Structure 1
Amino acid sequence: MLLRYIFAPLLKKAILENVQNLSVTQTNTAKISVVQDFKEITKMRLALSVVFSSVAGYLLGVETVSWSTLVLLAIGGYFMVGASNAFNQIIERDLDKLMDRTKNRPIPSGRMSVNTAFAIAAIFTIAGISVLYTINPQTAMFGAISIFIYVSLYTPLKTKTPLSVFVGAIPGAIPFMLGWVAATNNFGIEPGTLFMIQFFWQFPHFWAIGWFLFDDYKKGGFFMLPTGKKDQGTAVQVIIYTVWTVVTSLIPVFGVTGKLYLTPISGVIILFLGLTLIRSAFRLYKIRDAKTAKELMLMSVLYITLLQIIYVVDKFVRIWI
């Protein structure tokens, strides 16, 4: 009820402003619906991929699946990611105008007002923390930490230092472990391992993106590559962190990560996927062009997705057998 009185006037004003903006800035090619703008300001596809990671972490940690908790985790996780993305686009709205990839986003294109975006971000933040808190306080805490680091640290650092990727890897790695914390209300070696897997994975993934979108990022003044250039130094670091990603992915095979365990068969499958990912990293070192970088990015997405599926399937096959 309190949220209604706080945000209702702001949201009403923001919606009216957005409707006015829509009438002024309609393009000759097509009208982009309010629903589509909502999807874009919250980056729905990215948010759903993050929710997938959280759900995988939950299934790994839980003994008996609670569907209500799983739904709350998915909803709360989506709210938190959507809020982070909306705040990010508010902060970077002027820079987004400079880049081909982002100039047609809702705010820089004029289809959505800053007030509308802020209302969405604020409501999503409060709703996300509240929903995650109903699961357990630790889950809400890690969710809040994630959005704080992403918005307050990572976003402003992107135009100042390549180290922003290191900072951004922290909130990027939280979702996988968040699911385990939601399932167990405990942070230990198991969620810590899940965190490290996704933490190291962030680097080859985002450096590959930074490579093939280098010219566009340069227009916005973003420093995404570790050396600031598409050079041998960056390619070497891509290889190093790719290897670390694969190594951490295989640690559970050796039975040293508590309840998080992986059978040798699954370990062999992940090793094969890992070697394929490493091969893609070496190809970037050898060829160093945008096409190869994009291939590495796509391979990294395939790797983390299949890894999470394999981890979950491995656990439940062991239970059922």
Structure 2
Amino acid sequence: MAENTRIEWCDATFNPWIGCTRVGPGCDNCYAARSTPVRTMGIEWGPGQPRRRTGPGNWYGPLRWNREAERLGVRYRVFCASLADWLDNDIPVSWLADLLNLVRTTPNLDWLLLSKRIGNWARRLRAVLAAIMADDAVPYRADLLSWLEGWLGGGRPPSNVWLGATVVNQPEAERDIPKLLDTPAVLRWLSMEPLLGPVDLTAIKRTVAPGFFGDALHWYHRGYCHEQDGIEYPAIDWIIVGGESGPRARPIHPDWARALRDQCHAADVPFLFKQWGEWAPDRDGAETCGNCGQTKFDTINAHGECGACGSDRWQRADTPLDTPCRVGKKRAGRLLDGREHHAFPIPPSGGAS
């Protein structure tokens, strides 16, 4: 396709509108808020600030990609709203209805619908449903009503929607992953970027039937539950992990990424390591505070100073450390322990329900 993207895990991005509100620690250094389109159009970030809907030419793009994918017999992964959040409370319901109808009418595209507000899913879709039920003039009214009712009812989630949630630390994982698992979807995934702390996905326990127990990644059944063999319960189907980039980027510790890699491997879940960001393990270049000796990774604050003593003087460590050092995004790359991790889930058979 002509519209490529630098994002490693999708083929194209589509922004139905631009603008958002920071809702968690992962948003502190939001790349979208300082992106060129946002600065050029003077869009303000925050609650109550107007979002900017993109033009008709942009909205035509997915229709063109859909025809191309059908002609070639392939599927394109489209990341929706890289400069926004499709479940944002401040988006007009009519805009969301138009987006959902676009998803419905492009069955040859796999839509990667990612949100920091996954708990808004049912309320926002019900608002769309109510709005189009009350408006006979909506041209796609009948088809979208049936599509939405099937999804909200839990019986017919769209087969071209990969539903994702952003999780950057353990508290967010414990809060939002159960919400994602309770939302009807044919494929569920996590964007753990920027990863800001260790996350144990196996600590998120779930029991939905006698004899069946599991966690966010994997389900198990006890030996005496033979009559329920073959039943599948919701679990996360794909994990993306990455560090932060930009001038105020916070470091990602390699042990955090390794732990998630190993959790995915044990549960046979595809794992994609997107990038280290500005910081990466540099055993020969690790730095410590020149005043108190604390390692830079453990103590550096947002101003580049040692959080323990306030010094801004850093020096090469006396001994090699498995400690992130600021080396820049390009040099940091995306190899984890010398290997590229670039796995994808097997998508369900194409076509929207």
TM-score (norm 1): 0.30
Structure index of larger Rg: 2
Which has the bigger relative contact order, CA under 8 A and spacing at least 6? 1
TM-score (norm 2): 0.28
Decide which structure has greater strand share: 2
